[in-house]
Amino acid sequence: MITVSRKQISIPFEERVICFYGDSGKDTISFTVTEQIEPNCRYFLYILFSDGRVNSIELDDNGEGICTWTVLAEHIFMPGIAYIQIKSVNDSGEVWHSPKATVEFEDSLDSRDTANFTPSLYQQLDSKVNEIYELANTFGETIREYTAEIVTSLADSDYITRQEAISLINESIDDLLLPLSRRLDGE
């Protein structure tokens, strides 16, 4: 069990490996907090990963100095060495915090496939490009419908036939959308 006493955090060597990256709900870590327990305090675990990202998780508190953390996959951003810190907070703000301590999240051979929770930059960009492409198509269709109504009223004036006006507008819209379509299709 990890102990927080006199604002120090003590982790037995055999407990420094917290879990495997990608596992979810398989491990529950207990913290014994011997600091002065104030009423209405909440305890938070902060994890600083080697890439600089920080996650904070509210610990379950039994009110008697034992806090638990059920490790979920989304809590662990990456495998490797990380720092943890416990903070106690009440309605007025931070009451105390422990110093940092080193822990490890093991890498599993299959974690590369199963623990990818955030889409890659390529996937995000691809999704955004597809969204823009759909918007452009919707925009083009809306323009065609709107201009068809205008053309109908113009065609009634005997300056141009309705079909000639629609053809000209469709050609113009296609000329506008074609470069966008080619660009989005990677041509």
Tell how far CA 141 is from the center of its chain. Answer: 34
Q: Each residue's pLDDT tens digit in the chain (187 positions)?
A: 788 877 778 888 888 788 777 777 778 888 888 776 667 788 899 999 999 999 999 988 887 788 888 888 888 888 889 999 988 888 887 778 888 988 988 887 655 554 444 555 566 777 777 788 787 777 777 777 767 766 676 666 666 666 777 777 777 676 666 666 665 565 5
Query: Could you tell me what percent of the chain has a pLDDT over 70?
Result: 72
Cβ pair 2, 86 in contact under 8 A: no
Interacting residues of 54 by C-beta distance below 8 A, sequence separation 6+:
46, 47, 48
CATH homologous superfamily for 2-114? Immunoglobulins (2.60.40.10)
Q: Give the whole-angstrom CA distance, residue 149 versus residue 142.
A: 11
What is the gyration radius of the CA atoms in the chain, in angstroms?
A: 30
Give whole-number Cα distances, 48 to 31, 42, 61, 80, in Å.
Answer: 18, 20, 22, 11
- What predicted TM-score, i.e. pTM, was given to this entire model? 0.55
